[in-house]
Amino acid sequence: MITVTINGKEIKLEKAVTVLEAARSAGIKIPTLCWHEQLEKYGGCRLCLVEVEKMPRLQTACTLMVADGMIIRTETDTIAEVRRGVLEFLLINHPLDCPYCDKAGECELQDLVEKYGLTKGRFREQKRKVPEALEDPVLVRNMERCIVCTRCVRMCEGVQGASAISVINRGGHSHIEPFSGGRFDCEYCGNCVSVCPVGAIMSRLHRHSYRPWQLGSETKTVCPYCGVGCTVVVQVRDDIIKRVVPKLGTVVNNGLLCSRGRFGYEFVGNKERLTTPLIRKNGLLEPSTWEEAIRLIASRLSEIKDKHGSNAIAGIASPRCTNEDNYVFQKFMRVAVGTNNIDSTARTGFAGAQGFIENIFGQGATGNIISGLANSDAVFVIGGDPTTINPILGLQIRACSRRGGNILTVGHMKGLRYYTPLELRPSVNTEIALLEGIVSALMKKKGPPGSHPVLEARLKDLNAQEADLPRICGIQGKDFSRFIDTLAEAATPSFVIGKDMIQSKGGSYGLFLVSAINYIVNGRIYLLSERANEQGLLDMGCAPDLFPGYRPITYPEFRKRYENAWKTGLPDKPGLTIFEMMEAAKAGALKCIYVMGENPVFNLPHTKDVEAGLKNLSFLVVQDIFLTETAKMADVVLPALSWAEKDGTFTNMERRIQLVKKAVHREGMEDWKILSEISSNMGVRMNYSDAEEIFGEICRVSPLHRDLNYEEIEKGDAIYPYKGEPLRGSTDEIHIEKSAGREERGKLYLRVERPLFHSGTLSRKAPALVNICPEAVARISPATAAALSLKDGDIVRASSKTGALELPVAVDEAIDDSAVMLSNNFQGKGAFSLMEYEIDPVTKAPCLDSNQIILEKVNR
């Protein structure tokens, strides 16, 4: 126990902390500028100077550690004088911009000057003049206002790990500059903006459009983009979102955001938003009324049901909609329509992979706490770059490395390249052999743990051994041994699995092998998730074979429970997966698809096929916020409310249920509301008054959510199974499909790029994100570029069996020589349009890794 006296108040402390922390714990405020709770100590601004008895000089409270018996004074006349002096120094070169500086009102410097009341200016010389730097799409730098506290630099380097900016020059010429010169060209997380105490680095999105005190409301909610589920605070003026900021102290992202979360909100107010229902008349989508649209849908659905049976209708749910929306959606499909034909784009990887892994290790096996990654001593990454797919999770991996943990990657992960990864980069389509090699090497080194006989039985017949790897995968023995040694020695390893792993030939076998590795070294698994409520939609039973809470529909006993709860009989046969729906539509067996908040034409591979299927339907309903590629083909389009305009819950990849709250007002209906209206029109009454009531029902029917409510969720720790309902155990059978991809050297394969600045088709409606990353490019390696005589910016025709696109190339050292990377975000330029697939029979996910692609230069 350490006892210190601050301002006469005795404070007892468990462990040595800084004087600043000790003071704060006792409610004593010491002014600070360079200190920030997320950042390493700096001690530069000198504002926190305090008097400490027996110490000759004043001491900075933010750096000095307390010692037993220390007597400290934080507010004396001398100290007030000193602080005034420091503030005067900060002001001599500081412009008097307050009247039009966007920071005014929440500027730490302004607040302190106000508190310590500076007298008149004594500085008679010219102030430093630096023009505002406006080269950048989302950030603006005003270095006249910079007080060189280096908070931004320490954030960018020590937390974000981008190391994009630094203090340039020395002394009075010090200022902050991106290493790339005028433009930041960085990860655009904006976390530097969050920590800048003054108006020196700010967001450009709301420039000069409001003052902080003019905010109408601040709403704490969840980011709409990815499965990390960061807490965001949406700040609104006149029903327009002015700013989205993180909040310190929140469990998932503690004051940090990524580019999408921070700058991607403008889709909400986008002029292209759908405003009224549209009905196809004479081949054209014409504006109509809600009444007409709802009546039409209800009668068409009933008609098809009567004529072709319930199973001629299918529904596609949305990983961007709330749990409540998705719950009502599946209930609508099962009860009002009477089918289990319910699925979503989670089928492209997440759903099958999660099911597969849970089947081996038990339910919940992939839902681990994201911040735990930082405490792992090794993180194994495969199948995608977590720093772009789930950026805030990526930061935890960087933090792990900073704390001395090892990063192990299969394939090159660009966002981890400065974190000294041990990297194994197998040649094209040979990951499976490599994983087999890893399993057999680990088995030799560590032996079978003996606790999972079913899994171990499956390990008997591995094809590739360590000795084969140089030949098959082109991996050197010494790199491999280092990798294996590190993995074998890890005490708390984590495994991060991305979609590329799942979407490869033999994906289920690959997943099995990664699971086996995880089992041998006793790790935990993280499954990357690209959509905000991908987990929640599965929890809600938006799957052809599962009820809410993962109860299999084929078990009569469970079916009974839901029949009782919903007071109706339920179909007992599993429905179609999203891919089977497309097949059935093409074959004419399926007549109608109801799409809620999804864009299958763009978000499913083999666009032409999807289009052909949808064209073949007799009735297509799309409920969305934009007129997407899919909506354009619909018979009826219904405008929905977006994430910012409704209440509900999202469940993130950790299985943490969080409240989504209405931040802006907009005319219209929530997805669940639209569905209940249609349902009622079909004679199945749904009378929910609000999302909370729906959630009440969810908690009654889903064993995972039992006893939960919005109040509990608000506290932030609502991770299901809430209150420890036991989860399903592991199985005694593991199905795998061994087909491995064939390697053809010298050919180029198309790979899906999952960029940091975009996410599906939502982000292209956010101008800031489009400004950062405006167009689709085909990324190729320098060797590919050389072989094809291409240089950056050249236009190529990229063609595959399913189509061709023209687009510019970018030469990127991070790309494998056999790969062409193309994102699936930009209209008409999506990678999926060039891809065919086969379905993995076990995970039901598409295998996309065998798509060869040819690049030809287009001369203009």
Partner 1 sequence: MERVLLKNIENPESADINEYKKAGGYKGLPKALGMQPREIIDEVKKAGLRGRGGAGFPVAMKWTFASADPKFPKYLLCNADEGEPGTFKDRPILEKNPHILIEGMAISGYALGAEYGYVYLRGEYPGAKDVLNRAIAQAYEQGFLGDNIGGKGVRFHLAVHQGAGAYICGEETALIESLEGDKGQPRIKPPFPVNVGVFSKPTVVNNVETLSNLPYLIEIGGEAYSKIGSPDCPGPKIYCVSGHVERPGVYELPMGTSLKDIIYDHCGGMKAGRKLKAVIPGGISTPVLPPDKIDCPMDFVNMPKHGSMLGSGAVIVMDESVCLVKVCFRALKFFEHESCGKCTPCREGTGWLRKILGRIEHGEGVDGDIELLLSVAGNILGKTFCPLGDGAASVVQNFIKHFRPEFEEHIRAGKCMVNG
Binding site for partner 1 (CB under 8 A): 41-47, 49, 57-58, 63, 65, 82, 85-86, 88-90, 92-93, 122-123, 125, 147-148, 166-167, 169-174
Residue whose CB is less far from ligand SF4, 94 or 559: 94
Q: For residue 850, give every residue at least 6 positions away whose Cβ sits within 8 Å of its Cβ, in sequence order, or none.
A: 429, 505, 741, 742, 749, 838
Residue whose CB is less far from ligand SF4, 155 or 314: 155
Name which position in 19, 22, 28, 32 contacts ligand FES (CB under 6 A): 32
**Polymer length in residues for the chain:** 860
Nearest-approach distance from CB 98 to partner 1, in angstroms: 19
Name which position in 25, 38, 44, 85 contacts ligand FES (CB under 6 A): 44
Nearest-approach distance from CB 370 to ligand SF4, in angstroms: 9
Nearest-approach distance from CB 35 to ligand FES, in angstroms: 4
Residue 66 sits in the site that holds ligand FES (CB under 6 A): no
The count of residues interacting with ligand SF4 (CB under 6 A) is: 42
Question: Are 337 and 511 within 8 A, CB to CB?
Answer: no
Write the burial class of residue 419 (CB in 10 Å: 0-12 exposed, 13-18 middle, 19+ buried). buried
Question: Are 509 and 317 within 8 A, CB to CB?
Answer: no
Question: Are 779 and 822 within 8 A, CB to CB?
Answer: yes
The Cα-based distances of 191 to 257, 275, 607 in angstroms read 7, 34, 37
Nearest-approach distance from CB 86 to partner 1, in angstroms: 5
Question: Are 47 and 111 within 8 A, CB to CB?
Answer: no
Name which position in 61, 87, 146, 313 contacts ligand SF4 (CB under 6 A): 146
What is the phi/psi pair of residue 382, to 5°? Answer: -145, 145
Residue whose CB is less far from partner 1, 46 or 206: 46
User: Burial code of 519-555, b = ≥16 C-beta within 10 A, e = fewer?
Assistant: bbbebbbbbbbbbbbbbbbbbbbbbbbbbbbbbebee
Q: Which does 478 bind (CB under 5 to 8 A by kind): ligand SF4, ligand FES, partner 1, none?
A: none
H or E element that contains 279: strand 278-281
Residue 201 sits in the site that holds ligand SF4 (CB under 6 A): yes
Residue whose CB is less far from partner 1, 123 or 555: 123
Straight-line distance from the first to the last Cα atom of the chain, in angstroms, rounded to the nearest whole number: 76
- Matching residue, tokens 């057999």: 440
Residue 35 sits in the site that holds ligand FES (CB under 6 A): yes
Question: Are 342 and 543 within 8 A, CB to CB?
Answer: yes
Nearest to 807 by CA among 857, 750, 751, 734: 857
Copy the structure tokens of residue 79.
């100290």
Residue 198 sits in the site that holds ligand SF4 (CB under 6 A): yes
Nearest-approach distance from CB 660 to ligand SF4, in angstroms: 12
Site mask, ligand FES, residues 261-280, x = CB under 6 A? Answer: --------------------
| Interacting residues with ligand SF4 between 57 and 116 (CB under 6 A) | none
Q: Which does 32 bind (CB under 5 to 8 A by kind): ligand FES, partner 1, ligand SF4, none?
A: ligand FES
Q: Which does 613 bind (CB under 5 to 8 A by kind): ligand FES, partner 1, ligand SF4, none?
A: none
Name which position in 187, 624, 635, 753 contacts ligand SF4 (CB under 6 A): 187
Name which position in 22, 48, 66, 109 contacts ligand FES (CB under 6 A): 48
Residue 62 sits in the site that holds ligand FES (CB under 6 A): yes
Residue whose CB is less far from ligand FES, 62 or 87: 62
Q: Which does 152 bind (CB under 5 to 8 A by kind): partner 1, ligand FES, ligand SF4, none?
A: ligand SF4
Q: How far apart are CA 235 and CA 252, in angstroms?
A: 20
Nearest-approach distance from CB 540 to partner 1, in angstroms: 50
Interhelix angle 323-331/671-681, rounded to 10 degrees, is 20
Give me Rg for the CA atoms of the chain: 29
β-partners of residue 60 are 49
Q: DSSP per residue over 245-269, as a string?
A: E--TT-TTTTT---HHHHH-GGGTT
Q: Which does 174 bind (CB under 5 to 8 A by kind): ligand SF4, partner 1, ligand FES, none?
A: partner 1
Question: Are 350 and 754 within 8 A, CB to CB?
Answer: no
Residue whose CB is less far from ligand FES, 45 or 853: 45
Copy the structure tokens of residue 756.
């940091």
Q: DSSP per residue over 189-213, as a string?
A: --HHHHH-SSTTEEESTTTTS--GG
Nearest-approach distance from CB 427 to partner 1, in angstroms: 35
Q: Which does 48 bind (CB under 5 to 8 A by kind): ligand SF4, ligand FES, partner 1, none?
A: ligand FES
Select the span of 184-192, 207-215, 480-488, 502-510 touching ligand SF4 (CB under 6 A): 184-192
Task: Provide the binding-site residues for ligand SF4, judged by CB under 6 A.
Answer: 146-152, 155-156, 160, 162, 164-165, 176, 184, 186-192, 195-198, 200-201, 223, 225-226, 228-230, 253, 257-258, 260-261, 390-392
Task: Provide the binding-site residues for ligand FES, judged by CB under 6 A.
Answer: 32-35, 43-48, 60, 62
